[in-house]
């Protein structure tokens, strides 16, 4: 499954004083086998959409995966991988075992696991780190391990929530190229959350702009650059973006 469709989806959360609407009756379709970038100011509801799709939070409305209501699909059956800015690796496991972990859960043959782990580690240039524990890695190396673990099981859907935001520019640019290459190789549908213009336009096939819990519009990268919508124009001024090499 890879087609993702939201129908009148609303998401709420409770703060100290009141119930806040994070996402307000959004309807949209993310494109199959493409990189769908959600962009907007912090707090506009981007991450909430990822959390709803992954099963981490409740929502009102309907989300469909290949025309099947997501609420009828057990979380472990959705074949979704998630990478976010907070790198979470198993500290007691080596890099090899961190990457292999999803395949071991699937109970794949040991030989197949070994081949896939080593091939992907080589592609991400972390093959020389396979015997190390996460605490001995740089932040950039840890994020590459997290990305490898997300892609290793060949997911139908990859959710990425600002995976570059805690990295310096040089490391971010390097890992961005790895992500782009992996996404071009896979047939997964990717939803990538960003508040960085450069990252969004570098990776995106489609750009979905959000503001205050609502969808402003959907654009190709070229349409986004040319768009004179008031909110989009303000985003292009306010959000960080750097010239690409």
Same domain, 200 and 93: no
Is the domain of 138 the same as that of 20?
no
- Average pLDDT estimate for 148-160: 96
- Residue 148 shares a structural domain with residue 162: no
Residue 187 pLDDT: 84
Q: Tens digit of pLDDT for each residue in 20-73?
A: 999 999 999 999 999 999 999 999 999 999 999 999 999 999 999 998 999 999
Q: Answer for the pair 202, 180: CB distance below 8 angstroms, yes or no.
A: yes
Domain boundary pick from 98, 119, 154: 154
CATH number at residue 15: 3.40.50.300
Q: Is the pLDDT of residue 243 over 60?
A: no
Q: Within this chain, do residues 2 and 108 fall inside the same structural domain, yes or no?
A: no
Q: Residues 65, 30: one domain?
A: yes
The whole-number pLDDT of residue 15 equals 85
Q: Return the pLDDT at 58.
A: 94
Give the DSSP per-residue string, 117-149.
HHHHHHHTT-GGGTTS-GGGS-HHHHHHHHHHH
Question: What percent of the chain has pLDDT above 90?
Answer: 88
Residue 17 pLDDT? 85
Together in a domain, 136 and 177: no
The answer, yes or no, to whether residue 145 has pLDDT greater than 80, is yes
Of 229, 233, 223, the C-alpha closest to 201 is 223
Closest CA relative to residue 194, chosen from 186, 202, 182: 202
The verdict on 70 and 115 lying in the same domain is no
Residue 244: pLDDT band with limits 50, 70, 90: very low
pLDDT in tens, 192-215: 999 899 999 999 999 999 999 999
Mean pLDDT of the chain: 94
Task: Kindly state the percentage of the chain with pLDDT values over 70.
Answer: 97
The pLDDT of residue 147:
97
3-state secondary structure of 31: coil
Domain boundary among 133, 154, 175: 154
pLDDT of residue 242: 60
Note whether 149 and 167 are same-domain residues: no
Residues 39 and 64 reside in one and the same domain: yes
Q: How many domains does the chain have?
A: 2
**Is it the case that residue 109 has pLDDT exceeding 70?**
yes
pLDDT of residue 27: 97
**Tens-digit pLDDT profile for residues 212-236:** 999 999 999 999 999 999 999 999 9
Note down the domain range covering 235: 1-79+156-245
Q: Which of 182, 201, 186 is nearest to 143 (CA)?
A: 182
Give me the pLDDT at residue 124, please.
Answer: 96
Judgement on whether residues 123 and 230 belong to the same structural domain of the protein: no
Choose one of 136, 154, 172: the last residue of a domain.
154
Q: Are residues 117 and 135 in the same domain?
A: yes
Mean pLDDT of 124-143: 97
Question: At residue 170, does pLDDT exceed 60?
Answer: yes
In this structure, the answer to whether residues 198 and 129 fall within a common structural domain is no
Secondary structure class of 228 (helix, strand, coil): coil
């Amino acid at each position: 499954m890879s087609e993702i469709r939201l129908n009148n989806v609303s998401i709420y959360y409770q703060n100290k004083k009141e119930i806040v609407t994070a996402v307000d009756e959004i309807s949209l379709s993310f494109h199959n086998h493409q990189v769908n970038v959600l962009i907007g100011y912090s707090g506009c509801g981007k991450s909430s959409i990822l959390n709803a799709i992954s099963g981490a939070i409740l929502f009102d409305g309907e989300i469909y995966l290949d025309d099947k209501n997501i609420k009828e699909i057990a979380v472990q059956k959705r074949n979704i991988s998630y990478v976010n800015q907070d790198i979470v690796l198993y500290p007691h496991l080596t890099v090899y075992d961190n990457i292999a972990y999803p395949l071991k859960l699937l109970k794949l043959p040991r030989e197949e696991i070994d081949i896939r782990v080593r091939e992907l580690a080589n592609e991400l240039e972390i093959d020389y780190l396979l015997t190390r524990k996460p605490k001995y890695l740089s932040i950039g190396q840890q994020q590459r391990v997290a990305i490898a673990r997300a892609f290793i099981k060949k997911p139908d859907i990859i959710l990425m929530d600002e995976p570059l935001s805690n990295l310096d520019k040089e490391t971010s640019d390097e890992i961005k190229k790895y992500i782009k290459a992996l996404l071009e190789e896979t047939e997964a549908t990717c939803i990538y959350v960003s508040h960085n213009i450069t990252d969004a336009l570098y990776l995106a096939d489609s750009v979905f702009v959000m503001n205050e819990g609502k969808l402003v519009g959907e654009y190709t990268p070229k349409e986004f650059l040319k768009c004179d919508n008031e909110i989009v124009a303000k985003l292009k001024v306010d959000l960080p973006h750097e010239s690409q090499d």
